[in-house]
Amino acid sequence: MLTILLDGVAYGMLLFVLASGLSVTLGLMNFINLAHGAFAMVGGYVTALLMNRAGAPFLLTLPAAFLIPAILGVALERTLYRRLYGASPLDQVLFTIGLVLMAMPIAAYLIGDEPQQVHLPAWLSGRIEVHGVGIGVYRLFIILVCGIIAAALQTFLVKTRFGAQLRAAVDDARVAQGLGINVDRIFAVAFAVGSGLAGLGGALAADVVGGIDPSFPVKFLVTFLIVVTVGGSNGIMGALFGSLLLGVLDVAGKYYVPSIGAFIIYAVMVVTLIVRPQGLFARGDGR
Amino acid sequence: MSAANPSATTRRLAAHLNRRARWRWPEILFWLAILAVIFAAPSRAAIINEVLIAGLFALSLDLILGLAGIVSLGHAAFFGLGAYAAAILASKGIADPTLGLVLGAAVAAVAGLATAPLLLRGADLTRLMVTLGVSLMLGELANRNGWLTGGADGLNFSIAPVLGLFPIGFTGQRNAALYSFAVLFILFTIARRLAQSPFGLALAAIRENRLRAGALGIDTSRRIIAIYVVAAAYAGAAGALLAQTTQIVSLDLFDFHRSADVMLMLIIGGAGYLYGGLIGASAFIVLRDVISAATPEYWEFWIGLALVILVLAGRERIGEAPRRLIAFFAPRAARRGVA
- Residue boundaries of the structural domains of chain A: 2-215
The domains of chain B, with CATH numbers, are 24-336 (1.10.3470)
pLDDT at B9 over 90: no
Cα-based angle A201, A204, A207 (whole degrees, multiple of 5): 130
- Give the Cβ contact number of residue A120 at 10 Å: 16
What confidence tens digit (pLDDT) does each residue in B237-263 have? 999 999 888 888 888 888 877 888 888
Residue A32 burial (10 A CB sphere; 0-12, 13-18, 19+): buried
The whole-chain average pLDDT of chain A stands at 80
Q: Which residues of chain B form beta strands (DSSP E)?
A: 155-156, 248-249
Least confident of B35-44, B208-217, B306-315: B306-315
**Contact residues for A73 (Cβ-Cβ < 8 A; gap 6+):** A39, A191, A192, A194, A195, A196
Q: List, for residues A165-192, the tens digit of each pLDDT value.
A: 888 887 777 888 888 888 888 888 888 8
Note whether B118 contacts A273, CB cutoff 8 Å: yes
**SS3 state of residue A160:** coil
Distance to chain A for B54, nearest Cα, Å: 19
Of the pLDDT bands very low, low, confident and very high (cuts 50, 70, 90), residue B5 is: low
Q: ipTM of the predicted structure?
A: 0.75
Q: How far does CA B15 lie from the centroid of its chain?
A: 29
SS3 B42: helix
Rounded Cα gap, residues B70 and B16, in angstroms: 26
On the question of pLDDT at A66 being above 80, the answer is yes
Q: End-to-end distance of chain B based on CA atoms, in angstroms? A: 28
Task: Decide: A65 and A44 in contact? Cβ < 8 Å.
Answer: yes
Residue A89, chain B, CB below 8 Å: the answer is: yes
Query: Which of B128, B144, B312 has the CB atom closest to A263's CB atom?
Result: B144
**For range B80-105, the mean pLDDT:** 88
pLDDT (0 to 100) of residue A281: 62
Residue, of A128 and A155, whose pLDDT is higher: A155
Percent of chain A exceeding pLDDT 90 equals 2
Asked whether the beta carbons of B56 and B180 are under 8 A apart, the reply is yes
Interface mutation vs chain A, best among B127, B129, B309, most A CBs within 10 Å: B129
Q: How many CB atoms lie within 10 A of CB A209?
A: 16
Residues B283-317: pLDDT tens digits? 888 888 888 887 777 777 887 887 888 788 766 65
At residue B338, does pLDDT exceed 60?
no
DSSP B23: P
A102 closest CB neighbour out of B123, B264, B305: B305
pLDDT, average across residues A257-278: 74
Q: How far apart are CA B196 and CA B13, in angstroms?
A: 11
Per DSSP, which regions of chain A are E strands?
127-130, 133-136
pLDDT digits (tens, 9 = 90+) for A110-146: 887 777 777 777 777 776 766 666 677 888 888 888 8
In chain B, residues with a C-beta closer than 8 Å to the C-beta of A226 are: 129, 133
- The beta-carbon neighbor of B130 closest among A80, A221, A270 is A270
User: How does DSSP classify residue B3?
Assistant: T
Residue type, B327: A
Exposed / middle / buried, residue A106 (Cβ in 10 Å: 0-12, 13-18, 19+): middle
What is the Rg, in whole angstroms, of the alpha carbon atoms belonging to chain A? 19
More confident residue, A124 or B226: B226
What SS3 string covers B68-97? CCCCCCCCHHHHHHHHHHHHHHHHCCCCCH
Q: Answer whether residue B170 shows pLDDT above 80.
A: no
Q: What is the pLDDT of residues B139-156, one digit of tens each?
A: 888 887 777 777 777 777
Three-class DSSP category at A116: strand
Q: Which amino acid is at B125?
A: L
pLDDT at residue A42 greater than cutoff 50: yes
Candidates B125, B251, B287: best to mutate against A (most CBs of A within 10 A) is B125
Mutation to test the B interface, candidates A28, A33, A93, most B Cβ within 10 Å: A93
Distance of residue A26 Cα from the nearest chain B Cα, in angstroms: 10
Convert the pLDDT of each residue in A76-98 to its tens digit: 888 888 888 777 788 888 888 88
